[in-house]
Amino acid sequence: MSGLGKVAVLMGGTSAEREVSLMSGTGVLQALQSVGVDAHAFDPAQRGLHELKADGFERVFIALHGRHGEDGTVQGALELLGIPYTGSGVMASAVAMDKVMTKRVWQAEGLPTPRWLRLEAGQRTREHIIQVPDELGLPLIVKPPREGSSIGISKVKGYSQMQDAVTLAAQYDADVLCEEFIEGTELTCPVLGSGDSALALPVIRIAAPDGNYDYEHKYFSDDTGYHCPSGLSAEVEAEVQRLTLAAYRTLGCRGWGRADLMQRGSDGRIFLLEMNTSPGMTGHSLVPLSAQAAGIGYPQLCVKLLEMAALDSSR
């Protein structure tokens, strides 16, 4: 695999998702090395990104999650360094990382997403907080709009829980996103490629204990069930894939990504929750599971993503 040159796998970093990133990056690094790629680990928390150029890296696999990895900042630095990287570019990464901005874009394009309210720093008084359930109903979801992996998220079932949920989310973000809770089936759908050639992979249906798909169940528990094939009807599967591709293209994503969705139990309607532009690649991660169902093994997937590494400026 010498044609890919010297490759840095960015992992670790400084976000709240550092632990998950190290797991993802280690998996990717071992997979690339197993097929002969000249790949090396690189932790931006320990080394400056300028060293990538000095060390002769020709391509970067971004296995960072969260801030300073998935939010356009690292992508911007790599643009300046002129080193092609995996995944979405600066703008798509920045917008997708911010769930409020993502929802605004999707709503402008007529794509379905749960109703929501944003609480800015000056709007977290008791008077403001108590009005949220009146508008969105109960239960509802409270989360920081610029974190991933279910960090800082709460499901609020009563007015008395609102303050604690907002306080928790505010530990991770200046703004707090309050979102209508969709009762139903949790789904996720990965995408490979860019533009018109982007391809939606098989949908995964997630069955977490008591519907509690939190950080622990995402990465460390074997209690969560991941069904791929999803068991959905062919029509519903196709609709999930159609919405995912529309959401991905609307945000300007490239390379790869993964949409999280809900299918409401009461009427079967599908809602987009968020778009992940640097999805997990751990042993519990969903893109490798879906790719496997499509006949793409883990090392092959890593190489395919690396081959699509690009710069915004060269598109």
Whether 274 is a known active-site residue: answer yes
Catalytic residue among 24, 255, 258, 298: 258
SS3 per-residue string spanning the chain: CHHHCEEEEECCCCCCCHHHHHHHHHHHHHHHHHCCCEEEEECCCCCCCCHHHHCCCCEEEECCCCCCCCCCHHHHHHHHHCCCECCCCHHHHHHHHCHHHHHHHHHHCCCCCCCEEEECHHHCCHHHHHHHHHHHCCCEEEECCCCCCCCCCEEECCHHHHHHHHHHHHCCCCCEEEEECCCEEEEEEEEECCHHHCEECCCEEEECHHHCCCHHHHHCCCCCEEECCCCCCHHHHHHHHHHHHHHHHHCCCCCEEEEEEEEECCCCCEEEEEEECCCCCCCCCHHHHHHHHCCCCHHHHHHHHHHCCECHHHC
Catalytic residue among 85, 219, 248, 298: 219
Catalytic residue among 149, 154, 285, 290: 149
Whether 248 is a known active-site residue: answer no
Rounded Cα–Cα distance for residues 57 and 160 (Å): 53
Question: How, if at all, do strands 154-156 and 140-143 pair?
Answer: antiparallel
Whether 312 is a known active-site residue: answer no
Whether 213 is a known active-site residue: answer no
Catalytic residue among 15, 276, 278, 285: 276
Whether 219 is a known active-site residue: answer yes
Catalytic residue among 12, 25, 257, 280: 280
Catalytic residue among 260, 278, 285, 312: 260
Whether 149 is a known active-site residue: answer yes
Catalytic residue among 147, 237, 274, 312: 274
Catalytic residue among 17, 98, 147, 175: 17
Residue 219 contacts residue 23 (beta carbons within 8 Å)? yes
Whether 280 is a known active-site residue: answer yes
> Which residues form the catalytic set?
17, 149, 219, 258, 260, 274, 276, 280
